[in-house]
Amino acid sequence: MIRRGRSGSRVNLTAGWEAILEYGRVSVRMAPFDAVASLPACTIAGESGTATWDGWRISWSLGTPPALVPRVTDTAWFEPAVYTVRAWRPGDRIRPLGGTGSRLVVRCMQDVRLPASARAHWPVVVAEAGLVWVPQVCRSGEAIARNRAVCLRFARLGEAGAGTTVAQR
């Protein structure tokens, strides 16, 4: 694994442990127990609220969006609508803000050097128009708010596996 130097290489060790080569560094950790498909989706609706999703704290509220919309951020402003937070899936595509066409989300994750071991538990935000945001990775040019907007904020709570809870006001 080390000689080949291919980022994302994995070697299963004994007793549920694995070694992973990510961006030139080897890490040893417990193999993940949750498959991507088993992570529940979380619906974001209403004027304000909070939720936890697999080790992330999500909060949202109505307000006025800033004049400049950043592409990589942990806070994003959207048109008021119903949004779904779910796990990233291989093959997901996004239309990056300020870009042309669409890109694979995994390429955006690689651009910000997100380790392969973290991707299965990374949230994406989906609207009716499709995938609109990957927190801390890439913002889409879709659902840009002009006046009144829903502000979504994501923050890590700790390790993955925290489940999903929602509280709306």
**What are the pLDDT digits (tens) for 4-17?**
777 777 788 877 78
Where along the chain do its domains lie?
A: 1-31, 35-168
Query: Residue 36: which residues within 8 A CB-CB, separation 6 or more?
Result: 87, 88, 89, 120
Query: Residue 16: which residues within 8 A CB-CB, separation 6 or more?
Result: 30, 31
| Section 114-134 average pLDDT | 89
Q: pLDDT band at residue 135, thresholds of 50, 70 and 90?
A: very high
Quick check: helix, strand or coil at residue 63? strand
Q: Please tell me whether the overall predicted TM-score, pTM, comes out greater than 0.75 for this model.
A: no
Q: pLDDT band at residue 90, thresholds of 50, 70 and 90?
A: confident
154 in Cβ contact with 136 (< 8 Å): yes
| Section 72-98 average pLDDT | 89
